[in-house]
Amino acid sequence: MSDQIKHECGIALIRLRKPLQYYIDKYKTPFYAANRLYVLMQKQINRGQDGAGIANIKINTPPGTRYISRYRSVESEAVTKIFQKINKKYKKSKKAGSEEDLIDASWIKEHTAFSGEVWLGHLRYGTHGQNSIETCHPFLKQNNWRSRNLVMAGNFNMTNVEELFDNLVKLGQHPKEKTDTVTVMEKIGHFLDEENQRIFDKYKGQFTNREITEVIEQELDVARILRRSCRDFDGGYAMAGLVGNGAGFVVRDPSGIRPAYYYADEEIIVVASEKPPIKTAFNIDYQQIKEIQPGNALIFAKDGSYAEHEIIPPREKKSCSFERIYFSRGTDPDIYRERKNLGRALVPQILKAIDFDLKNTVFSYIPNTAETAYYGMIEGLEDYLSAKRREILIEGKPHLEDLEDLLNFRPRVEKLVSKDVKLRTFITNDSDRDVMVSNVYDTTYEVIRSGVDTIVVIDDSIVRGTTLEKSILTTLDKLKPKRIIIVSSAPQIRFPDCYGIDMSRMRDFVAFRAVVELLRERDMEHVLDQVYDQCLANPDAEENFVKAIYEPFSDQEISDKIAEIITSESIDADVHVIYQTVHNLHLSCPGHRGDWYFTGDFPTEGGMRVVNKAFVNYMEGKVIRAY
């Protein structure tokens, strides 16, 4: 994606289902789980580079022994640095113990931090707020009762933080922050406390307090806790939690907005935000990896048993289509196929835009994640050429081309755009800075015929258009093409996201800026005022009023205006923009129909309120998030 945006975080969870000694004997290391977690997190590093954190719980430790360990970091290469710190702990223990000690699970758990059976890792992309150690997951709610401790990390945003905060205050709590992470953890923590108390009251008088503690840890009903906690949540979430006794869960929102996958066998339970890390870490078949269903929670008990439970009645599945277009790794076979389909689906629009003049057109892509869609686009062009040859050779249709040329012709493909290292601009003034930014991308010279060739370049998505305007178009124009056609494998982004992606302000979207200019050019600014009045008059409405500003215009009219916006006066080539259609998006990614950024059809009531508030913020000149 040429316009970088922050997006969904990543989670990684491992639960050993057998005693630690089993893994020492079988895998010849007490650090089997730690090594696997490292792979899970490194293979999801694309999901979060603002920070990382790890928590570990030891099961059945005696009183007076630390059983929860946690490290967090906001340094660069945070995952590596956290595991280096853990490794120092291991080396310290190795010096203190004998060879026999180092293969004795009991000794290791007593003398070594991060040697427990339950692991939770998190990779953070901060969509707002400070990037400090305090904002890094996992979060920890501590208590002197083991089964009241709660560790949480997640990939989520809530749209109703104010409501959740007020509910906590009504319960008598005094939350330290008004953020979704704190409110969610305190809400679940509250019902965890109530569940502990319920079981305690049930057995009070029948057992000693110490005996009741053991009973609580065995009978803790995590599904009941989550049903009571999550019923008020409005947002997209995949949240992972560990209880101090060794139980845990991963719960997913009822629309399936945020992803969560798991694998389990007799040795292990593992959960991650993507499938490829699980496959890589455990060398299993993709068919063995399951998806946690929307509204469900995968729950494991202290004894290692597990099951998937319905927590909230599922809604129509609206899993994030941006996961498929851009965010998730393309090594997932389904995602790889879908991205190729997205590129292939654009071919009819591209052929029309170049007047079917393939001989004078060069195809390329904007690195790096658009490469797969590019392959699909090229395959689609080759299919078109095959169909043309079949018409001539088999069906005998007339043609103007030389038959020899037609048989030998292939689409002209070149790598025209390369991204260089970031250039520092600390000594430049404003006018110089744009020149410096234009050099972030480099190009391949002497492959474009000046004034003759058309360049077609595919990108994952065009969000703000800033990089296109200030860098990529300037770079390509140096080749002196006749035309430059920018192709987006995603539809026009018209509405903010409120479920985890950092696309929260209307003014940031080039499609929104385009439609506002069209309204002004055609003396239709009253539409903006009408929508603004509707939003103000109905702050709790479950309807997206902002859709109305796009209705007077066709997709093509908006695309043409976007092309004007991103084309500076210094560009000599004729610039066009082609976007994917929503219809073709659904055909290409049939199981992932979360398209609210394109259509405005938000899957939750809170999403509708957020988009209306975002528009009000724009009209009032407020450069803030709407949730």
Each residue's pLDDT tens digit, 465-506: 888 888 899 999 999 999 999 999 999 999 999 997 878 889
Cα 577 from Cα 575, distance rounded (Å): 7
Q: What is the pLDDT of residues 338-374, one digit of tens each?
A: 999 999 999 999 999 999 999 999 999 997 779 999 9
Confidence category of residue 625, pLDDT binned at 50, 70, 90 = confident
pLDDT above 80: residue 448: yes
Express as a percent the part of the chain with pLDDT over 90: 76
Confidence category of residue 433, pLDDT binned at 50, 70, 90 = very low
Q: What is the pLDDT of residues 237-247, one digit of tens each?
A: 999 999 999 99
Cα 122 from Cα 125, distance rounded (Å): 10
Q: What residue has token string 């990896």?
A: 289
pLDDT (0 to 100) of residue 103: 92
**Structure tokens of 438?**
């234009």
Q: Are 274 and 261 in contact (CB under 8 A)?
A: yes
State the pairing for strand pair 261-264/290-291. antiparallel
pLDDT (0 to 100) of residue 424: 46
pLDDT (0 to 100) of residue 442: 78
Q: What is the pLDDT of residues 556-590, one digit of tens each?
A: 999 999 999 999 999 999 999 999 999 999 999 99
pLDDT above 70: residue 185: yes
Number of Cβ within a 10 Å radius of residue 556: 12
pTM: 0.92
pLDDT (0 to 100) of residue 403: 65
Write down the mean pLDDT value for the chain. Answer: 91
Q: What residue has token string 């992309």?
A: 125
pLDDT above 80: residue 129: no
Q: At what angle do helices 78-96 and 32-42 cross, to 10 degrees?
A: 170
Confidence category of residue 420, pLDDT binned at 50, 70, 90 = low
Q: What is the pLDDT of residues 67-78, one digit of tens each?
A: 999 999 999 899
Q: What is the pLDDT of residues 197-219, one digit of tens each?
A: 999 999 999 999 999 999 999 99
DSSP run (H or E) holding 533 = helix 526-537
Confidence category of residue 446, pLDDT binned at 50, 70, 90 = confident
What number is the average pLDDT over the span 285-306?
97
State the pairing for strand pair 268-272/10-16. antiparallel
pLDDT above 70: residue 398: no
**Structure tokens of 243?**
């209880």
What number is the average pLDDT over the span 538-549?
96
Side chain identity at 352, as an amino acid letter? Answer: K
